[in-house]
Structure 1
Amino acid sequence: MSNLEERIQKIEDRFAIEDLVSRYFVASDDNDFEVLEDSFAKDGIFTGPGFSGGSNRAEVMEFVRAFRANVGQTVHALNSVTVEFLDADRATGVVGAHIELSMGGRTLFGAFRYYDDYVREEGRWRFARRELLTVHVGRWEDIGTSLTCENSVRWPGSEPLKSHFPRER
């Protein structure tokens, strides 16, 4: 393959990965479990502090279905995607996003980062590993101070926690 062909392929792959991320968010908002399942590699992992969302596609989907059963309407808003290719079939990325969600009878708002590993599997890009870290989350009425308080991760029914991205003041 010529240098130009390789460069064009990398551009096409980057768009395919960005589409994967966008489809994942829309499918999450729509409870489209078929698309969500197809987004993960067969041995895909979904994880974050305090939870293991599974170490294969079936376990990930079991976790996602259980979580989505406790959440009402959601709005995932993609802010940014960075992609670094490791080789022709593997890449890593960081996704910045905001979310609005209904949980515990309240509307919550938050910001997250996903640290992703991508793999080309069966001719398509999929999540090989997806780690979710929280910048802040809380009730809509508490957002005015969510970035100025020490414990800015405030899920209903849980003790407030520090951000995974604390900023020294």
Structure 2
Amino acid sequence: MDDKLLHRIDRLESLDEIRQLVAKYSLSLDMRDLDAHVNLFAPDIRVSRELSGRENLKAWVDDTLRNQFTGTSHHVGNHIIEFDDPDHAVGVLYSKNEHECGPEWVIMQMLYWDDYERIDGRWYFRRRLPCYWYATDLNKPPLGELKMRWPGREPYHGAFHDLFPSWKEFWANKPEGTPEVAAPAPVEQFLKTMRRGTPAPKIRVR
């Protein structure tokens, strides 16, 4: 079997494992199996400026789930995965989520910007950057600005569009006549092309 075919098989297997990884994230989180959940991340996963490792991640997730949500359900959708090399990849994943928050039922639309790494033959999350469009009570459409509306908190911006400059460019520049069309993005650089070298947004912790 030649090297090119082996590379293609490895890529297909990696794509499937990464897609399984994000599905396992949702199930383990919603079923509160925190050991299964944190084992989806690299062993030295960074949790904060001072803390790293799965033990610290488990403590943070436990505190978040126990104090904010009675129950949750995460529904993953669109998933784009691109490889930097055979053992490192990035991805964008849509997620539609539901949260029981005491007397309110909060629905959310968001996306994750993911970094994946293969360590000792298995794929893990190296980082997940959550970018939120809205969170609001089921009976209160999130119209207008500051669409992140959690019970007992002031509304805030969720950074859903901040990864991609095209959002602001679209609204700032209405073309006159027939618009030009840029060249297609190179293979494995669709996301990088859309990002246009912009820094990752700072996300407010909910």
TM-score bracket for this pair, using the shorter chain length:
0.7 to 0.9
In 1, Cα distance between equivalents of 2:61 and 2:15: 26
The root-mean-square deviation of aligned C-alpha atoms, in Å, is 2.0
Does 1:160 find its partner at 2:158? Answer: no
Q: Distance in 1 between matches of 2:74 and 2:160?
A: 20
Bigger strand fraction? 1
Q: Contact 1:98/1:110 (CA < 8 Å) preserved in 2?
A: yes
In the superposition, the TM-score normalised over structure 2's length comes to 0.73
Indicate if the aligned counterparts of 2:70 and 2:100 stay in contact, CA closer than 8 A: yes
Aligned to 1:24: 25
Q: Give the fraction of aligned pairs with identical amino acids, expressed as a percent.
A: 29
Aligned to 1:6: 7
1:30-45 paired onto structure 2 within 5 Å = 30-45=31-46
- Give the deviation of 1:34 after TM superposition: 1.6
1:63 corresponding residue in structure 2 = 60
Partner of 1:149: 144
CA distance in 2, matches of 1:13, 1:124: 9
Report Cα offsets for 1:54-100 as digits up to 9, x if no partner. 53322221111111102111110001111111111111111110000
Letter in 2 for 1:18: R
Q: Does 1:95 align with 2:93?
A: yes
**Per-residue deviation, 1:105:** 2.7
Distance in 2 between residues matched to 1:165 and 1:120, nearest whole Å: 27
Cα distance change on mapping 1:33 and 1:163 into 2, 3 Å: closer
Higher relative contact order (CA 8 A, sep 6+): 1
Q: What is the alpha-carbon distance in structure 2 between the residues aligned to residue 59 and residue 101 of structure 1? A: 24
Relative distance call for 1:76 and 1:65 in structure 2 (3 A) is same
Matches of 1:89 and 1:112, distance apart in 2: 26
2:75 and 2:47 map into 1 onto residues whose CA distance is: 19
Deviation of 1:112 (Å): 1.2
Give the equivalent residue in structure 2 for 1:83.
81
Unpaired segments of 5 or more residues in structure 1?
none
Q: What residue identity is the alignment partner of 1:60?
A: L
Q: When the two structures are superposed, what TM-score results if normalisation uses the length of structure 1? A: 0.87
Task: Please state if 1:121 is matched with 2:116.
Answer: no
**Gapped regions of structure 2 (runs ≥ 5):** 162-166, 172-206
CA–CA separation in structure 2 for the residues paired with 1:161 and 1:151: 5
